[in-house]
A = this chain, B = another copy of it.
Amino acid sequence: MLTYSEENYLKTIFHLSLGQKKGVSTNAIAAKIETKASSVTDMIKKLNEKQLIKYQKYQGVTLTAEGIMAAKMIVRKHRLWEVFLVEKLGFNWDEVHDVAEELEHIKSEKLINKLDAFLEYPTQDPHGDPIPNAKGEIKLVDKQLLSEIDINTKVVCVGVKDSSSEFLQYLDKHKISLGTVIEIVDIEPFDQSYTIGLHQHTITITKKIASNLYVKVISA
């Protein structure tokens, strides 16, 4: 049985290991979890003992198959609860993360599978992130950052890279949500700011915004 804290470490290591092939560093984990590197080292030893990660001093960590599955189940719970909060309880997408951080640790396989059924087996959470199924399978949809798209392209918003409350509220303010169609009207060479056409209006967004919005190309 995993503790609350062990689960948070596993999930964090899982997320950090996605973007790279090398082992995840102690400091990277410490930064994400907002703890000290020495605390990370302690926990790493424990997870290594439990065979959930592979660890060699000073070389960072990688998840074992068992560790990956455990991490995926936590991500599954987190994202299913987020769907529940938005779809059933009427939360806004910027309000669900912290509550889901708690709910993801509730230990009942039956609960999560019944919740999954109740929500009609969603494949994505309110931020466009994929929800692992009961077997841990993740259906990856192809998506790109808006910042990688060329001028004169029509795209649809399918997710956010940053799901902080601040960023999501920015999107709300500009009426951008998942499913919103965006037309790239202009890209300013000087600062890579994008002028984009939305449903009714045209706005200019910074590169920072563009590189946190996942989109899918509709037409060139």
Contact = CB atoms under 8 A, between A and B. Distances in A.
Interface of A: 85, 88-91, 95, 98-99, 102-103, 106-108, 110-111, 114-115, 118
A72 B111 CA distance: 24
19 contacts: A85-B111, A88-B118, A89-B111, A89-B114, A89-B115, A89-B118, A90-B114, A91-B110, A91-B114, A95-B110, A98-B108, A99-B106, A99-B108, A99-B111, A102-B106, A102-B107, A102-B108, A103-B106, A106-B106
Identical copies of this chain, number = 2
Contacts of A118: 88-89
Contacts of A85: 111
Given A99-B106, A99-B108, 17 more contacts: A85-B111, A88-B118, A89-B111, A89-B114, A89-B115, A89-B118, A90-B114, A91-B110, A91-B114, A95-B110, A98-B108, A99-B111, A102-B106, A102-B107, A102-B108, A103-B106, A106-B106
Nearest to A102: B106
A95 B90 CA distance: 27
